[in-house]
Structures are given as C-alpha cells and as structure tokens.
Amino acid sequence: MKPDIADLRRNYTRDGLLEDKAPDEPLSLFANWFEQAVEIESTEANAMMLASVDADNQPHLRTLLLKGADERGFVFFTNYQSAKGRQLLEQPKAAMTFWWHDLERQVRIEGEVERISEEESDAYYHSRPVGSRLGAWASPQSEVIASREVLENKLAELEARYAQEAPPRPEHWGGLRLKPQLIEFWQGRPSRLHDRLSYRLVDNHWRRERLAP
C-alpha cells in the first residue's frame, strides 16, 4: 500500500531555541549548530540548497556543499560558466538553506554574492583529490552532451596530459561567497509551534527578532 502523503508527519521534541540562550549576532550560533550537525547528522552536514534567479526572474534550486564560513560569508565552488554560475554572477543575490534532520533544525540565509579571491580559489582547488581537479576541466557543466562517454573520454585525455604534473585551476572554476543579510534559525517544537529566530543586518548591525511559526 502506498503511503498517504497527507498522513506523513513528525512531532518535533528534541530541543528549543530561546532568546536567553541565543547570541546577539548569528555567526557564532551558526558555527555552534554546524559543529553539532557534523557530530550528529547521519548525512553530509555541509549539504545545502542554493537558490538563484535568472534574467527572466525564473528561480532555480539545487543542492551544493558549503566549503567555508566566517564573518565574511558562506563559500561554495562552481563552474562560473555553468547555468548556476552565470545566474549568480549576473543576478548576484541568492538564498541557501540547511536542513539537519537529526537535530530537527533548519537555517535559512539570504544575501548578496561575490567572487572570492583568485588566491582562495587556487588554495581550495589544489587541496582537492586529483580526480576532482581533473573533473573541473572535463565537465562543461550545464551544457548538453551526447553521452557519458564524452566525459569519460575527456577525463582519460586529461589523466594522460597531467600524468606527471599537477593540473592548474581552470579560469572558469572557482569560489563564490554569499554575504549574509538575513539568517534565520528554525528549531522544531511540539504541536508545530516551532522556534524561529531571525537576524537581519541593518546599518551593519544584526537585529534579532522572533517570528511566529
């Protein structure tokens, strides 16, 4: 028997999020929640949904991996010539969402997007496994290709070319940073009366507010 989607429900009882235990700024709270997610979550804690919009105001959504977070923002990597890369560089605003199932938590982040420095992109690129580095060259991301064989042949060609030397970072591949203007923390609570604390950047200061679930 197929499950009835309307009957799928879960009562959240794990934790709460109250103002007396929340900092005045959001970045330390994110770091704390992320550290807990790394320890507890059964899947990749740095997996996130990233939303962008194209020139026709059509939104696009996909899953990526976060690769850095500090006071400057949240960093991820992509092919700048891919659909995602073009959208984010042409319309430099985005939103990302983390969902940590085991902790019954969600974090939403909205803000502006910028390229990270060439030096930062180089450093991360050269820290990756060699197969991933070659993959950045082999894949014309988002373009139509005839078959998987196209990718495999290109990868084999690159493996032969760089058998004796490290591949350089492609100019079309690198990092982007989402500079947060809004960060919302969601903690599941019983009876769907969830906790939501919103931090909005106003005049370079974070304004914390509680939102109704």
Domain count, the chain: 1
Establish if 140 belongs to a structural domain: no
Closest CA to 60 of 79, 81, 89, 84: 84
Establish if 160 belongs to a structural domain: no
Contact 66, 76 (CB under 8 A): yes
> pLDDT by residue (tens digit) across 128-171?
999 999 999 999 999 999 999 999 999 999 999 999 999 999 99
Residue predicted with more confidence, 1 or 101: 101
What's the domain range around 57? 10-126+172-210
Contact 175, 67 (CB under 8 A): yes
Establish if 15 belongs to a structural domain: yes
pLDDT at 210 over 70: yes
pLDDT at 52 over 80: yes
pLDDT at 5 over 80: no
Contact 210, 19 (CB under 8 A): yes
Consecutive H or E run containing 121: helix 118-127
Q: So what's the pLDDT on residue 146?
A: 97
What mean pLDDT do residues 22-34 have? Answer: 97
Q: So what's the pLDDT on residue 51?
A: 98
pLDDT band at 120 (very low <50, low <70, confident <90, very high): very high
pLDDT at 92 over 70: yes
Query: What's 57's domain CATH number?
Result: 2.30.110.10
Of the given ranges (6-15, 85-94, 116-125, 158-167), which has the lowest mean pLDDT?
6-15
Establish if 60 belongs to a structural domain: yes
Percent of the chain with pLDDT over 70: 100
What mean pLDDT do residues 177-188 have? Answer: 98
pLDDT band at 1 (very low <50, low <70, confident <90, very high): low
Binding residues for FMN: 62-67, 77-78, 84, 106, 141-142, 186, 196
Establish if 34 belongs to a structural domain: yes
What mean pLDDT do residues 177-189 have? Answer: 98
Establish if 167 belongs to a structural domain: no
Binding residues for substrate: 67, 124, 128, 132, 192-194
Binding residues: 62-67, 77-78, 84, 106, 124, 128, 132, 141-142, 186, 192-194, 196
- Calculate the dihedral angle through the C-alpha atoms of 25, 26, 31, 37, rounding to the nearest 10 degrees: 140
Of the given ranges (5-9, 33-37, 60-64, 74-78), which has the lowest mean pLDDT?
5-9
pLDDT band at 9 (very low <50, low <70, confident <90, very high): confident
Average of per-residue pLDDT values in the chain: 96
Q: Is 192 a catalytic residue?
A: yes
What mean pLDDT do residues 61-77 have? Answer: 97
Half-sphere exposure of 123 (CA within 13 A, CB side): 7
- Which one is catalytic: 9, 108, 148, 192? 192
Establish if 154 belongs to a structural domain: no
Establish if 149 belongs to a structural domain: no
pLDDT at 75 over 80: yes
Q: So what's the pLDDT on residue 8?
A: 75
